[in-house]
Amino acid sequence: MNMKSLHQKLYITLNAGLALLLPITPAFAQGSGGSSCSASLGTLADLFDYATCILSKSVIPLIVTLALVAFMYGVVQYLINAEDENKRKEGRKFMLWGIISLFVMLGIIGILQVLGNTFDLGFGGGISTVTPQF
């Protein structure tokens, strides 16, 4: 494999990965209200609300992004190392675990949103409350 085709494959793979990231960013930017978490910790309920806010606005999007980066790393390793079977297997492993982790995490988020909307629990529905303007 010559270097020009290797660079072309890498360029196409990275652009495809960035295209996959674009639909995710507005969903996380929507959030469920304000852009920052209120740090008034007067009661135990306030502490739990603050921890939930930090998890939903910072930690969960970071973990989902890391899983997507791991998947994309596996794709790049798989394409770059076309001649080395051991490195291709490592790339396949990264792709497989990236897909599995994304499926599990986004599936749990979806289930929680359905439950939140169904039983009107006050969480979930941060994305579905947006009304398109035509």
How confident is the model over 73-126, as pLDDT tens digits? 998 888 888 889 999 999 999 999 999 999 999 999 889 888 888 888 766 445
Beta carbons within 8 Å of 66's beta carbon, 6+ residues apart: none
% of the chain residues with pLDDT over 70: 66
Helix/strand/coil (H/E/C) assignment for every residue in 60-129: HHHHHHHHHHHHHHHHHHHHHCCCCHHHHHHHHHHHHHHHHHHHHHHHHHHHHHHHHHHCCCCCCCCCCC
